[in-house]
Amino acid sequence: MNSSNSNNGESNNGKSSSFDSLNQDLGLYFLELARLGSSKAPTDMEEDEEEAPKELNTINSSGGFLVVAPDKLSVKYPTINLHGHDVGVIQADKPVPVKRLLYYFEIYVKNAGAKGQIAIGFTNEGFKMRRQPGWEVNSCGYHGDDGFLYHGQGKGDAFGPTYTAGDTVGGGINYASQEFFFTKNGALVGTVSGEKEMKSRLFPTIAVHSQNEEVHVNFGQKKFAFDLKEYEAQERLKQQMTIEKIALPPNISYGLVRSYLLHYGYEDTLKSFDLASKSTIPPIYIAQENGFDEQDIVYALNQRKILRQLIRNGKIDAAISKLRDWYPQLVQDDKSATCFLLHCQKFIELVRVGALEEAVKYGRIELAKFFELTNFEYLVQDCVALLAYVRPQESSVGYLLEESQRDLVADTVNAMILSTNPNMKDMQGCLQSYLERLLRQLTACCLERRSANGDQGEAFHLHRVLNSGGNLKC
């Protein structure tokens, strides 16, 4: 087996970016996967990092036209208004967070003052702070005096009921439907398209415009009058229902599960699966796309199963011995990623049973030579670090002791065996099952779609979908 370890320093991050070259060491793919599985990998909890509005922004508000309370959560209009350019407008301290399905906030009208000219809505950065939200472009506002919705010009549209003292009014953004929505006293008033406005960075905005008006704002520090969670669930359901209507080719799931089992060498499961499918009603017929595909993956099924079993049970020596018998070319080059992963795993198994002296001896013989090589360095360091702890499983390198690490080594061996199939055209077939490719495509499409929408909306995480109990979101 040709190994290209001499290119270690030059390859981009050690990741094989193209699967075409038959000479590439496939093992490097799994080595990189192992690194991603370690605790040093970045997590994907970006949604928690986005800051949300907490209070009103007193720096860029309308200055003398309104008075903000010290807690920065309520405003009053103290004077008599004279014209359309002395509105008391104030935005929140942070822009609306975008990496989620919905954003929402509420106001409580304490005092409707002389004319009840209160507004709630969203405005962009640099908004003219003497105008009602909605009266200028890139802004939108639901006004209490006429119940109209204004978005982008001085003339508004009839939208909902007026509101006054004692009312709780809410304004929100729905990124999935690209709409603004407003509520009054816990009930939805309506929605309006906001595609144009949402292209700018928007701030939650409130405004007062006649003497003695007083408004309190709630950015989520108190319970909302509107059941936001319920609304969110309904919106998710709507999207889910649109998706569920899509038709799938017959038996596609069945076929993908079957090829997954074949790909990874889960022979016993496959046998049970095939047996059961014969007696389902109606019986499932899988069209042989090209017998070619099937044969490739049935290749060495039993051997791959046996090796996976050995590795998952920690019997690394036995696994290496069998590999020497069956596929000597795979373990010939001791510096290949495959051999490296096997040696590391043996080391890990020795640590697991507490045979630390033996582990050290083994490490000196088999692992030391990898210290200088770029791709392998991190794993050697992590393995050796295991020795430093009384309870290594609780340490930052504890991930090495988990079953997933054994499984990764088993997957590597599995891929290497598949690569010895003379009929195997491209290497991707050895590395990824069809199911995996589809899941990657799904994730990539969702990410690109969100990016095309200015990064608005939720990201797709397979892990969350699988653990969320059914609420699929995209």
Partner 1 sequence: MSLFWIAIRQLAEIEEQMATSKKVITREEWEKRLNDIKIRKEDMNKLVMNFLVTEGYVEAAEKFRIESGAEPDIDLATITDRMAVKRAVQCGNVEDAIEKVNDLNPEILDTNPQLFFHLQQQRLIELIRNGKVEEALEFAQEELAPRGEENQSFLEELERTVSLLAFEDVSNCPVGELLDISQRLKTANEVNAAILTSQSHEKDPKLPSLLKMLIWAQNQLDEKAAYPRINDLSNATLEDPAV
Q: Answer yes or no whether residue 425 interacts with partner 1 by CB under 8 A.
A: no
> Which uninterrupted H or E stretch holds 193?
strand 187-193
Q: Which of 169, 261, 367, 380 binds partner 1 (CB under 8 A)?
A: 261
Q: Which of 68, 257, 360, 385 binds partner 1 (CB under 8 A)?
A: 257
> Which uninterrupted H or E stretch holds 88?
strand 88-91
Which is nearer to partner 1, 332 or 441 (by Cβ)?
A: 441
Applying CB under 8 A, the span of 115-123, 156-164, 222-230, 436-444 interacting with partner 1 comes to: 436-444
Cα separations in angstroms, 291 against 104, 115, 269, 301, 429: 55, 79, 21, 16, 15
The 3-state DSSP class for residue 101 equals coil
Applying CB under 8 A, the span of 58-66, 339-347, 415-423, 444-452 interacting with partner 1 comes to: 444-452
Which 323-382 residues touch partner 1, going by CB under 8 A?
none
Applying CB under 8 A, the span of 126-134, 196-204, 373-381, 441-449 interacting with partner 1 comes to: 441-449
Question: Interhelix angle for 403-419 vs 252-264, to 10°?
Answer: 90
Give bridge partners of residue 111 from the DSSP assignment: 214
Residue 37 class from Cβ within 10 Å (0-12 exposed, 13-18 middle, 19+ buried)? middle
Q: Rounded to the nearest whole angstrom, what is the least distance from the CB of residue 10 to partner 1 in the complex? A: 17
Which 3-22 residues touch partner 1, going by CB under 8 A?
15, 17-18
Residue 209 class from Cβ within 10 Å (0-12 exposed, 13-18 middle, 19+ buried)? buried
Q: Rounded to the nearest whole angstrom, what is the least distance from the CB of residue 410 to partner 1 in the complex? A: 10
CA 328 remoteness from chain centre: 41
How many residues bind to partner 1 according to rule CB under 8 A? 70
- Name every residue whose Cβ is closer than 8 Å to that of residue 32 and which is 6 or more positions away in sequence: 13, 14, 15, 375
Which is nearer to partner 1, 210 or 433 (by Cβ)?
A: 433
Which is nearer to partner 1, 16 or 132 (by Cβ)?
A: 16
Which is nearer to partner 1, 243 or 298 (by Cβ)?
A: 243
Nearest to 310 by CA among 325, 323, 291, 329: 323
Q: Rounded to the nearest whole angstrom, what is the least distance from the CB of residue 419 to partner 1 in the complex? A: 18
CB 135 within 8 A of CB 217: no
Which 117-136 residues touch partner 1, going by CB under 8 A?
none
Q: Which of 253, 302, 329, 381 binds partner 1 (CB under 8 A)?
A: 253
Q: Rounded to the nearest whole angstrom, what is the least distance from the CB of residue 333 to partner 1 in the complex? A: 24
Which 24-43 residues touch partner 1, going by CB under 8 A?
36-37, 41
CB 135 within 8 A of CB 155: no
- Euclidean distance between CA atoms 377 and 373, whole angstroms: 6
Residues that bind partner 1 (CB under 8 A): 15, 17-18, 36-37, 41, 44, 240, 242-244, 246, 248-249, 252-253, 255-257, 260-261, 264, 266-269, 271-273, 275-276, 281-282, 289, 293, 305, 308-309, 312, 403-404, 407-408, 411, 433-449, 452, 462-463, 465-466, 469-470, 472, 474
